[in-house]
């Protein structure tokens, strides 16, 4: 494997003395994930300090560890810097400066990770592509993703997130993208932000510090489109590309056949008709795919080839992954959206549930945990899901968390499964209620820990049944 970083490059990027030569093949801050040849950054977190794991990282084969204080019995190469977090940012900036890659940045209230993953899939079929791992979209995830950008990459895709004001701009300036896409704006983290307008303003900070000739890709169906387009132009963006259903969109959804296993899509990308199969289910995925195709075009890649790869794109665990489980002499279909939730994404998931046909004798079943960070209007947002829940056709609804009580009161009596204080108390009720033929959808904010419910369903099943 060729070197991602040489010791001389690390020394120059960090302005630090390196006492031994090495070639690093990776960068990490998690000692448990250290591979041979990695650079290990000892970062201080809220509950742990990476300096406590330096010796372990070096035993696991780290090429060197970046530290800000002495570490006893480390047994390897240490690079001393005043601030390890600043050093990580410096290394990320150095990677960005040396890279000839065409770079895309992605943000949005929902769909960031899905759009980023679709872009990685499409672009990697055409040239070497580097992209953020998982949801590495915060003040640590962005610089480490940049630091992992190989010098040979042709494309880079970086996800940028936020939950408080002022978080996106410094990260966007580190990425310095050629193309930036805001998937949408909704009442996500509104408890910290105060209003959707404030969220739109923060999302538009994605366009700060972009490369010369940059392109902004924005959702034409959003009521905040003009507001964000204005911000993009003030940041110096050269071109605004609109996507969506709107007739004025440059990348426009013409038609889609939404199915249980995916969608058949017809789109116009700058007037060019593109027909393709999308492997993930739901109209929200369709719109994400069109946004991604607009980014592909703006990056200068082949749009038709990119669209061909979308048949192989599917939702990941916790983000809409579907599993068929052997259960009670038949099967149960699990829709796992346990990673996160907000009013927009819950609505999208309920639409998918409505189109998912149960097996013989089965029912549509639903388990929801609290949506977090919705501020003073949290109960109203939860109660407001009632109509979409009714349209989903869920025969029984299982809820947990204090805010979900507002939705519980709005449910039809025949829909009420149980309401519990938390996911640990709910998990057994959900798993115990399932029978062969059922479809069960599980969703909630990460803090609601709905993976506990998913794990209980998996434990109650007889295992996978082919997919």
| The pLDDT value given to residue 467 | 46
Encode pLDDT of 247-264 as tens digits: 999 999 999 999 988 999
Grade residue 466 by pLDDT with cuts at 50, 70 and 90.
Answer: very low
- The token pair that represents 181 in the structure block: 């896409």
Whether residue 16 contacts residue 80, with contact meaning beta carbons closer than 8 Å, is answered with: yes
Encode pLDDT of 299-332 as tens digits: 999 999 999 999 999 988 888 999 999 998 999 9
Encode pLDDT of 341-359 as tens digits: 999 999 999 999 999 999 9
Q: Is the pLDDT of residue 418 over 90?
A: yes
Helix ranges, 125-270 (H): 141-147, 168-175, 190-193, 196-204, 225-234
Tell me the C-alpha to C-alpha distance, in Å, between residue 92 and each of 60, 185, 242. 23, 28, 30
d(CA 58, CA 387): 55
User: For a pLDDT cut of 70, what percent of the chain falls above it?
Assistant: 99
Q: Is the pLDDT of residue 465 over 60?
A: no
Stronger pLDDT, 31 or 271, i.e. the higher one: 271
- Name the pairing type of β-strands 215-219 and 179-182: parallel
d(CA 262, CA 77): 50
d(CA 399, CA 368): 5
Tell me the C-alpha to C-alpha distance, in Å, between residue 161 and each of 135, 168, 390, 414. 9, 7, 32, 39
Q: How many CA atoms lie within 13 Å of 58's alpha carbon, on the beta-carbon side?
A: 20
Angle between helices 84-98 and 168-175 in degrees, nearest 10: 40
Once rounded to an integer, what is the mean pLDDT over residues 50-56?
95
Encode pLDDT of 422-447 as tens digits: 999 999 999 999 999 999 999 999 99
Encode pLDDT of 272-290 as tens digits: 999 999 999 999 999 999 9
End-to-end CA distance of the chain: 34
Domains and CATH numbers, the chain: 5-83 (3.40.1390.10), 99-312 (3.40.1190.10), 321-460 (3.90.190.20)
- The token pair that represents 357 in the structure block: 């046909």
- The burial of 413, by beta-carbon neighbours within 10 Å (0-12 exposed, 13-18 middle, 19 or more buried), is given as exposed
Once rounded to an integer, what is the mean pLDDT over residues 162-174?
95
Q: Is the pLDDT of residue 368 over 50?
A: yes
């089965």: which residue's tokens?
362
DSSP string, 87-155: HHHHHHHHHHHH---EEEEEE-SS-HHHHHHHHHHHHHTTS-EEE--TT--STTHHHHHHHT--TT-SE
| The pLDDT value given to residue 260 | 84
Choose among 361, 365, 367: nearest CA to 330: 361
């Amino acid at each position: 494997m060729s070197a991602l970083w040489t010791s001389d490059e690390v020394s120059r990027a960090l302005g630090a003395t390196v006492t031994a030569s090495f070639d690093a093949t990776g960068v990490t801050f998690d000692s448990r994930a250290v591979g041979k040849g990695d650079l290990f950054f000892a970062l201080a977190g809220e509950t742990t300090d990476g300096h406590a794991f330096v010796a372990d990282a070096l035993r696991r084969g780290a090429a060197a560890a970046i530290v800000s204080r002495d570490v006893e019995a480390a047994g390897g190469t240490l690079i001393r810097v005043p601030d390890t977090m600043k050093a990580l940012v410096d290394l990320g900036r150095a990677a960005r400066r040396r890279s000839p890659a065409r770079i895309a940045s992605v943000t949005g209230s929902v769909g960031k990770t899905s759009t980023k993953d679709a872009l990685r899939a499409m672009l990697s079929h055409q040239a070497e592509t580097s992209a953020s791992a998982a949801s590495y979209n915060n003040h640590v995830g962005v610089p480490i993703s940049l630091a992992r950008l190989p010098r040979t990459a042709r494309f880079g895709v970086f996800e940028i997130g936020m939950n408080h004001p002022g978080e996106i701009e410094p990260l966007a300036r580190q990425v310095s993208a050629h193309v930036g896409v805001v998937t949408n704006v909704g009442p996500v983290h509104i408890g910290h932000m105060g209003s959707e307008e404030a969220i739109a303003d923060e999302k538009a900070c994605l366009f700060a510090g972009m490369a010369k000739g940059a392109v902004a890709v924005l959702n034409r169906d959003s009521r905040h489109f003009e507001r964000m387009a204005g911000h993009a132009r003030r940041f110096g963006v050269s071109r605004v590309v609109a996507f969506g259903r709107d007739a004025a969109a440059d990348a426009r959804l013409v038609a889609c056949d939404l199915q249980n296993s995916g969608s058949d899509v017809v789109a116009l990308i700058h007037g060019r008709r593109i027909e393709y199969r999308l492997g993930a289910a739901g109209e929200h995925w369709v719109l994400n795919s069109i946004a991604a195709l607009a980014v592909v075009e703006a990056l200068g890649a082949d749009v038709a080839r990119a669209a061909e790869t979308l048949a192989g794109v599917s939702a990941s665990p916790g983000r809409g992954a579907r599993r068929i489980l052997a259960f009670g002499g038949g099967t149960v279909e699990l829709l796992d959206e346990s990673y996160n939730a907000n009013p927009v994404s819950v609505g999208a998931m309920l639409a998918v549930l409505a189109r998912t046909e149960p097996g013989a004798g089965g029912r549509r079943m639903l388990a929801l945990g609290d949506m977090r960070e919705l501020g003073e209007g949290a109960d109203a947002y939860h109660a407001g899901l009632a109509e979409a829940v009714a349209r989903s056709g869920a025969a029984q609804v299982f809820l947990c968390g204090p805010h979900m009580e507002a939705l519980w009161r709005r449910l039809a009596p025949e829909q009420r499964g149980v309401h519990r204080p938390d996911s640990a108390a709910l998990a057994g009720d959900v798993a115990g209620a399932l029978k062969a033929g059922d479809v069960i959808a599980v969703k909630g904010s990460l803090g609601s820990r709905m993976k506990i419910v998913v794990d209980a369903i998996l434990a109650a099943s007889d295992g996978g049944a082919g997919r």
